[in-house]
Amino acid sequence: MSGTKNCRDMLKNAVQRFDHPPEPDSRLFRPTSVIALFAKGDSPDSPCLIFIEKADIPGYPWRNQMAFPGGNCDPEDPSREATALRELDEEMRIAPRDVELIGSIGHFQTINNKDIEAFLGIWKEMGDILFDPCEISRVFMIPLSHLMAVHKQKNFMRRKPGIYELVYPYEDVVIWGVTAKIVHHLLEILISEISSFHVAGSYGRPC
């Protein structure tokens, strides 16, 4: 069984088997969607997550912050999933047809009253990433293994750290805030799923 299929199965099971943060009162928050997109790393058994660093624009509330691709829901979007895929296409020119959408991992709120629904996806047909430097300064493909190592080293497993503690450093950047909350939840369900696979003896190395 290939590493790619192992990871796909693991992601699907994690989405289906575990509880995710519920949707809040829609009257209190503006709907937003992001996608945590997995791509092949140096080998099929070393997947990466794609992050963007927001542009350095004075007055922009997300200035220089690390984030997943995404944005506000438009009235024309038929669903929150459609918003995530549209924003991915607009921001990075990754077409919906090249993405296998796995599902939602729940809702995460920001201090400026946005409700972010986070989706998981796999970039099936990898190509060049094209982005608007007016909105995005850099794109990072961070190995899942690195994020998991930080998660374990900082003793984040099975607990919810405070916002100032919950950070995931990588090279010269730091993932923090609501994006770090999404990463934390994602890693928690993936680690639980990997443990389940190992106990069941289904896979030697899911990812």
Per-residue model confidence (pLDDT) at position 45? 60
Domain boundaries defined on the chain: 3-143
What are the tens digits of pLDDT across the range 93-140?
999 999 999 999 999 999 889 999 999 999 998 888 889 888 899 999
Each residue's pLDDT tens digit, 1-19:
345 567 788 889 989 999 9
DSSP state of 69: S
Q: Residue 205 — pLDDT band, cuts 50, 70, 90?
A: very low
3-state secondary structure of 97: helix
Per-residue confidence (pLDDT) for residue 46, from 0 to 100: 73
pLDDT confidence tier of residue 42, bands split at 50, 70 and 90 = low
SS3 155: coil
CA angle 142, 145, 148 (to 5 degrees): 100
pLDDT of residue 178: 96
CA 190, 19, 175, 135: dihedral to nearest 10 degrees? Answer: 110
CA-nearest of 48, 47, 54 to 69 is 54
Residues 122, 99 contacting (CB under 8 angstroms): yes
Could you give the CA distance from residue 176 to residue 4 in angstroms, rounded to a whole number? 28
List the CATH code of the domain at 3-143.
3.90.79.10
Q: Is residue 67 pLDDT above 50, yes or no?
A: yes
> What DSSP assignment string belongs to 156-167?
-TTS---TTT--
Q: State pLDDT tens for residues 131-190.
A: 988 889 999 999 999 999 999 999 999 999 999 999 999 999 999 999 999 999 999 999
Amino acid at 173: V
- Residue ranges of alpha helices (H) inside 21-133 are 80-92
Residue 30 has pLDDT above 90, yes or no: yes
The end-to-end CA distance of the chain, in Å, is 12
